[in-house]
Amino acid sequence: MVEYDSALLDRTFGALADPTRRRILAQLAEGEDCVTALAGPHAMSLAAVSKHLIVLEKAGLVKRERRGRVHSLTLEAGPMEEALAWISRYRKFWEGNLDQFEQYLEKLQTKEKNDDCE
Amino acid sequence: MVEYDSALLDRTFGALADPTRRRILAQLAEGEDCVTALAGPHAMSLAAVSKHLIVLEKAGLVKRERRGRVHSLTLEAGPMEEALAWISRYRKFWEGNLDQFEQYLEKLQTKEKNDDCE
DNA sequence: GTAATATTCAACCATATGGTTGAATATGAT
DNA sequence: ATCATATTCAACCATATGGTTGAATATTAC
């Protein structure tokens, strides 16, 4: 049986439960960035974004590198792996519910890229 | 580009961010159950578990069927599918870590860094 | 009808969360 | 040295979260 780190899952899922933090992660997927640049698109104060970054950092989803006064943040998606593994146990519970059309699409996709499935 | 329902992801990740709720989902993966039975293993009041079930229900992760005074809960893992899809976009950020080529690049970079900094 | 069971509701409490603002700190530029 | 920039810190506020307890509501059993 797989063991899950409950506190880590708490922090990971907790961090992912906020839209601003999910957007920040999406931004970082495009490449590393500093706090001010990350804050730009968000309609809130810099301090608020700074706090979100601390949450992400504590969850291990973001790594910080201080370069002088600029903090460079990079995505560290590792913890999501365990989150994904946790969720994956429940796949069968929604796969059975797919309607015919979705099943058809499923099949097509499986056929198209049967090399990277499973 | 895939569209994600932000409010749904909020509720889904939020629901998964609590260890009691994750345990309840694991219990329900074994089969439907009523509130009292679900509450059994948890070191808290029945009312507390009842509230957790309401959170899971609002997230769409659990379906309730009233049979007389007994409420039968079943797992409804659908919303997890979207959560998993969201996370999946970041797979490359951890999968690459085991790739030989990436390791090679890692080593090169480390070497270059050492050369630069010393 | 009365009693027991299953579940929620309501009020309450402590702490967490997500935001604000203004001050503090550290670094960089002139 | 001075000024500007990057970031956090501290205090505060409103609301959410996760728990409690005792009462209320339905349903079933006797």
pLDDT 10s digits, B11-69? 999 999 999 999 999 999 998 999 999 999 999 999 999 999 999 999 999 999 999 99
CB-based contact A13:A79 (threshold 8 Å) = no
For an interface test with B, the pick among A67, A82, A87 (most B C-beta atoms closer than 10 Å) comes out as: A87
- Counting beta carbons within 10 angstroms of the beta carbon of residue A75, is it exposed (0 to 12), middle (13 to 18) or buried (19 or more)? buried
Beta-carbon separation of B90 and A83 below 8 A: no
Residue B118: pLDDT band (50, 70, 90) is very low
Map residue A104 onto helix, strand or coil: helix
Least reliable range by pLDDT among A69-78, A106-115, B85-94: A106-115
Structure tokens at B66: 């009233």
Q: What pTM, to 2 d.p., does this model score?
A: 0.79
Query: To the nearest whole angstrom, how far is the Cα of A75 from the nearest Cα of chain B?
Result: 8
Structure tokens at A52: 């979100």
The reported pLDDT for the residue numbered B92 is 80
Q: Which residue of A has its CA nearest to B59?
A: A17
Structure tokens at B114: 């050492």
More confident residue, A63 or B106: A63
Size of interface A-B (CB pairs under 8 A): 86
The reported pLDDT for the residue numbered B108 is 46
Interface of A with B in 30-69 (CB under 8 A): none
Give strand C nucleotides closer than 7 A to any protein Cβ: 5-10, 17-23, 26-28
Distances (CA, A) of B45 to B22, B50, B52, B55: 17, 9, 11, 16
Residue A117: pLDDT band (50, 70, 90) is very low
Sheet containing B62-67: which strands, arranged edge to edge? B33-34, B70-75, B62-67
Beta-carbon separation of B87 and A86 below 8 A: no
Q: Is the pLDDT of residue A109 over 60?
A: no
pLDDT digits (tens, 9 = 90+) for A26-57: 999 998 999 999 999 999 999 999 999 999 99
Rounded Cα–Cα distance for residues B33 and B38 (Å): 6
- The residues facing B34 across adjacent strands are B72
Rounded Cα–Cα distance for residues B25 and B7 (Å): 20
Residue A97: pLDDT band (50, 70, 90) is low
Q: What is the CATH number of domain B6-91?
A: 1.10.10.10
Q: B14 at the A interface (CB within 8 A)?
A: yes
Q: Is the pLDDT of residue A89 over 80?
A: yes
Rounded Cα–Cα distance for residues A37 and A32 (Å): 10
Beta-carbon separation of B87 and A91 below 8 A: no
CB-based contact A54:A35 (threshold 8 Å) = no
**Nearest CA to the C1' of C27 belongs to which residue?**
A69
- B41 CB neighbours strand D below 7 A: no
C1' nearest to CA of A36: which nucleotide? Answer: D6
Strand intervals (E) in B1-118 = 33-34, 62-67, 70-75
In sequence order, the 6+-apart residues with CB closer than 8 A to the CB of A26 are B89
Tell me which architecture the domain covering A1-118 has in CATH.
Answer: Orthogonal Bundle (1.10)
Can you tell me which residue has the tokens 């997890």?
B80
Nearest by CB: A81 against B9, B19, B94: B94
Nearest by CB: B81 against A26, A75, A94: A94
